[in-house]
Amino acid sequence: MELIRELKPKGIIVIPKDIRESVNLEVGDRLSFTVEDNRIIIERKKRDVKAFLKEFFKYQKKGNEFTLKELKKIEEESYDLS
C-alpha cells in the first residue's frame, strides 16, 4: 500500500487512518525513526518495563543519586508504567 502525504510546516505529517488502524497505532504510542540509505523507517517503540525498572533501581542498590543526564535519559524514554 502506498499513500502520499504532504510534509507540513515544522515537519508534521499525518499517518493515514487506514495505516494507523492496520498496525494498531494509538494516541500516545511512541515511534522510532531510522534512516537507512534514502529511506525513513518508522516503528512503534517497544516498552520493556522490566528492563527499565532493572536499570532504574540498580542506582538505588548502589546508593547513587541520579545525575541530571540520567534523569533526562529517563524522561526521553518516558516508559509508561500503567
pLDDT at residue 8 in the model: 93
- Asked if 61 contacts 72 with a C-beta cutoff of 8 angstroms, the reply is no
Residue 8 resides in a domain: no
Residues 6+ apart with CB under 8 A from 49: 79, 81
pLDDT at residue 72 in the model: 75
β-bridge mates for residue 31, sequence order: 44
Q: Which three cell numbers stand for residue 43?
A: 516503528
Residue with grid cell 548502589, as numbered in its chain: 62
Residue 5 resides in a domain: no
Domain span holding position 23: 14-44
Checking if the pLDDT of 82 tops 50, the result is no
Instruction: Please tell me whether residues 80 and 62 are part of one structural domain.
Output: yes
For the entire predicted model, the pTM comes to: 0.50
> Which pLDDT tens digit goes with each residue over 21-59?
988 888 888 888 999 999 999 988 876 677 667 766 766
Residue 2 resides in a domain: no
For 20, the 3-state DSSP assignment is helix
Task: Please tell me the distance from the alpha carbon of residue 18 to that of residue 6, in angstroms, as a whole number.
Answer: 17
